[in-house]
Chains A and B, each alone.
Chain A
């Protein structure tokens, strides 16, 4: 398995052994001091769209490895404003760094950047398409909490139609033979092409309208935000929104090992009272972005194998 020079564009490009190797490397990153691993290397952070967690955690991961960072968090101050093509921007910025993490509003932009660049490109989110490092940190969190990835019962709730994190997570979990439960209002259920793919891979899944239908059966509940703009009017949104709020009272009878996850930011999908339960893993999950991104940076720049 060779990671040096590899682009991280889509979870769909990754094999199961590659995913396992990244997660194992992330675990090592948590255990050992890696302050000098990337000394002398530079991470380019090209954020054509605002991001707090992804950008900060990549910068933090790079610094923990001894690397430096250059980049921008606002395209209005970059040459894009002057009409430069993405291809040219990448061709120029690759000269300034050893690895690039990029977030861009257009789907497929990371793939194009990877074709232009000779240094590795890590996709930090290409519009509603892919966000592979989020999926990897989700898998890392599940593995860390549950001790395994194979054969788990995982429920996903909220906006399953437009949420890229749940699309990628469903695809990734299908490699580990998990049983999945999709909880969403009918208008925001998992798209057919994702369900077809699960059928092709013989993955057992079911669709549900309420969290209470499955919460006592599952090992993981992955909650996501329902966005107001997805609904035709405020009334429809209000009706649905309240069904998908996770309250402490709904956790009666759940499995002891239940992990509640959320890609954050949350609005009100998980009530604050749930934070104090032993099941809440979402802040740990955000923190797990650091070892996972450290592992990716170290692997693709070839400082470790």
Chain B
């Protein structure tokens, strides 16, 4: 099927960022992570995908994602692809990158961790990629990513 004939379920954007290949269960969370103002946002979920059967896609006009947004997306949708769009064309495409350090974006699961008792930034380091395991810099406990709440 040529590009011209292919029906676009989520309209193309002239300039901005497309987050593609989001697992359907994570699409709403990715949308929630984005720090949005008056940008034009289009969103589709449970779309057919050759690669992953069903997927979510988010297109945001006139926005480049910040590092902290990208890091959060890597946690909830590590399979996602990022496309930078200019003049309706993909000028750069890459998989989201799992950072080695997550600063100030996760709440420690350990109720006795100092980060739960003082006004301070949390910090986690990636100790295992698959499945993702993160270690609290302070209490030294290790967790599955699903145990940690995004701040």
Enumerate chain A interface residues (CB-CB to B < 8 A).
10, 12, 85-87, 104-109, 111-112, 126-130, 193
Q: Is the CB of B138 within 8 A of A130?
A: no
Q: Is the CB of B112 within 8 A of A128?
A: yes
Q: Which residues of B contact A104 (CB under 8 A)?
A: 114
Q: Which residues of A contact B110 (CB under 8 A)?
A: 107
Residues of B95-116 contacting chain A, CB below 8 A? 110, 112-116
Q: Which residues of A contact B86 (CB under 8 A)?
A: none
Interface string of B117-134 (1 = CB under 8 A from A): 111100000000000000
Residue of A86, A106, A112, A129 near B140 (CB, 8 A) is A129
Contact A108 B138, CB 8 Å, known A86-B114, A128-B112: yes
Query: How many residue pairs, one in A and one in B, have C-beta atoms under 8 Å apart?
Result: 50
Q: Is the CB of A106 within 8 A of B112?
A: yes
Q: Which residue of B lies closest to A130 (CB)?
A: B140
Residue of B115, B116, B118, B139 near A129 (CB, 8 A) is B139
Interface core residue of A87, A104, A109, A130 (most chain B CB under 10 Å): A109
Enumerate chain B interface residues (CB-CB to A < 8 A).
110, 112-120, 136-142
Helix, strand, loop or mixed for chain B's interface?
A: loop
Q: Which residues of B contact A193 (CB under 8 A)?
A: 142
Listed by A's residue number, 5 A-B pairs whose Cβ atoms lie within 8 Å are: A87-B118, A106-B117, A112-B114, A127-B112, A193-B142
Shortest beta-carbon contacts, A-B, top 3: A108-B138, A107-B139, A108-B114
Cα separation A127 to B117 with both chains bound (whole Å): 13
| Least CB distance, A234 to chain B, in whole angstroms | 25
Cα separation A106 to B140 with both chains bound (whole Å): 12
Residue of B114, B119, B142 near A109 (CB, 8 A) is B114
Q: Which residues of B contact A129 (CB under 8 A)?
A: 139-140
Cα separation A109 to B117 with both chains bound (whole Å): 10
Cα separation A263 to B116 with both chains bound (whole Å): 29
Q: Is the CB of B114 within 8 A of A107?
A: yes
| Least CB distance, B136 to chain A, in whole angstroms | 7
